[in-house]
Structure 1
């Protein structure tokens, strides 16, 4: 059950990373097709304007909201094979609270309830009648990656992660545009649609080569419900000393409704 609890945190904290060596970002950039890669340092003024335009369009597609709620099916695979299917209910108030109810689908019961704020993480393990009270740093400890509250909510909503304006190269193909940025922590390759500028793929590689941490995220099945382009299907792989693959399929979702975030600790629960 402890491993299951860590998985519940993983769902929202883009956590683990795996043993399989992955391609370096420059290899991905250099893949041969009809696209042309332009190094920004050597780019002409028109290329720089193009990058600013694409970056601006990507920023315009960032989802803004007050509240968000959803039901999603979560599947995952780790070194031990496929884990149990999960049904996860999400409620969020932007920059304030993330509430999760994690249900073991096969048993049809709520296994965990999680409440995350910018300062704290609270986890109810209903099977073992345990509550864990932690600081927000717990997300980073479990994830082994520098994730804060803001990054977690961006992951759930489907906005770009670790977006940095320090673009060092770009690559334009017939259907996609890729931007490579060099942040303090990661090399970040973001791929968007050439026509709609919607996020399709994120490839993160640790700047510290000795860590060899990578994250590979894809976004698809966009739905325009409520006038918001929202990705209803996500595939994620995290790799360092071990590897975990996660699939998230949003069955229903809504923006800007009035929500509650119930989280009470029963008296018979032990505190850890």
Structure 2
């Protein structure tokens, strides 16, 4: 049980997405924008690249049984690894590294470790996330964008929203709907949402505020809500001291005295 909770703390922050097209009281209709403008904006945002990223995340986690606050030291090297050290009361108790094909964790409190394939994320959250998808989420980029997919404009005078449909697990027929919601200036994503009707799962992420760091509109305050059957998980992430494209090193060592987590 403790492993499952720790797993949730490690990767829930990497999971995804969005609130789209909700009318806000007191707000008027948005100026008219052609569909092609939204499509070009999405393509441009998806084309962003970075070599590395670092930030401290003040994190509030809540589900139906518990509420806890903790800090995450986040390091990313693009297309290589995502490293996260979770601290509670300034004491590190979980260290995790997610690579394109694996998930590795050490638990200082239980003196144990976990070594799994990247499928470990799908098994625990029901949504297939690649390493790249998690980078996109944490950087505030469009998740799972492809120029080969078709994008549909949602007819809503109060929101700029594009949506697309992905097939989960190849040709299984299990569709995953993705919604991208733009800000008023159509130059950043305001939110993203993933919906899987087959397993009643929805992940919404709101990028409440952003901060400009070396030309990147890095998230500043992010709110994530994950809806799964009989459970609602919420996370609030506050990015502090972010830096982009500076040299970052991700360390992961399993002490000899640790045993596999059970």
Runs of at least 5 residues in structure 1 that lack an aligned partner in the other structure: 18-22, 39-46
**Distance across 2 between alignment mates of 1:157 and 1:92:** 10
1:217 aligns with 2:199: no
Instruction: Give matches, 1:69-80, under 5 Å.
Output: 69-80=54-65
Select the residue among 161, 180, 198 that pairs with 1:178. 161
1:267 aligns with 2:256: yes
**Distance across 2 between alignment mates of 1:237 and 1:205:** 12
**Distance across 2 between alignment mates of 1:10 and 1:116:** 9
Which residue does the alignment assign to 1:44? none
Select the residue among 15, 37, 40 that pairs with 1:56. 40
Secondary structure of the corresponding residue to residue 59 of structure 1:
helix
CA offset at residue 180 of structure 1? 2.3
Which residue does the alignment assign to 1:154? 136
Runs of at least 5 residues in structure 2 that lack an aligned partner in the other structure: 168-174
Q: Which structure has the larger Rg?
A: 1
Which residue does the alignment assign to 1:97? 81
CA offset at residue 52 of structure 1? 2.6
Contact 2:13 2:235 in 1 (8 A): no
**Distance across 1 between alignment mates of 2:123 and 2:215:** 37
Select the residue among 230, 242, 245 that pairs with 1:256. 245
Closer, same or farther in 2 for the Cα pair 1:196/1:29, shift >3 Å?
Answer: closer
**Distance across 1 between alignment mates of 2:186 and 2:38:** 11
Q: Deviations over 1:65-123 (max 9, x none)?
A: 001111011111101142x211000111101111110111xx22001000111111110
Q: Deviations over 1:186-238 (max 9, x none)?
A: 222211023142110112221xx341211111002111121211121111111
**Distance across 2 between alignment mates of 1:122 and 1:96:** 14
Q: Deviations over 1:11-47 (max 9, x none)?
A: 34417x9xxxxx9x8xx589998659x9xxxxxxxx8
**Distance across 2 between alignment mates of 1:127 and 1:29:** 42
**Distance across 2 between alignment mates of 1:182 and 1:119:** 24
Contact 1:171 1:179 in 2 (8 A): no
State the TM-score, normalizing by the size of structure 2.
0.84
Which residue does the alignment assign to 1:42? none
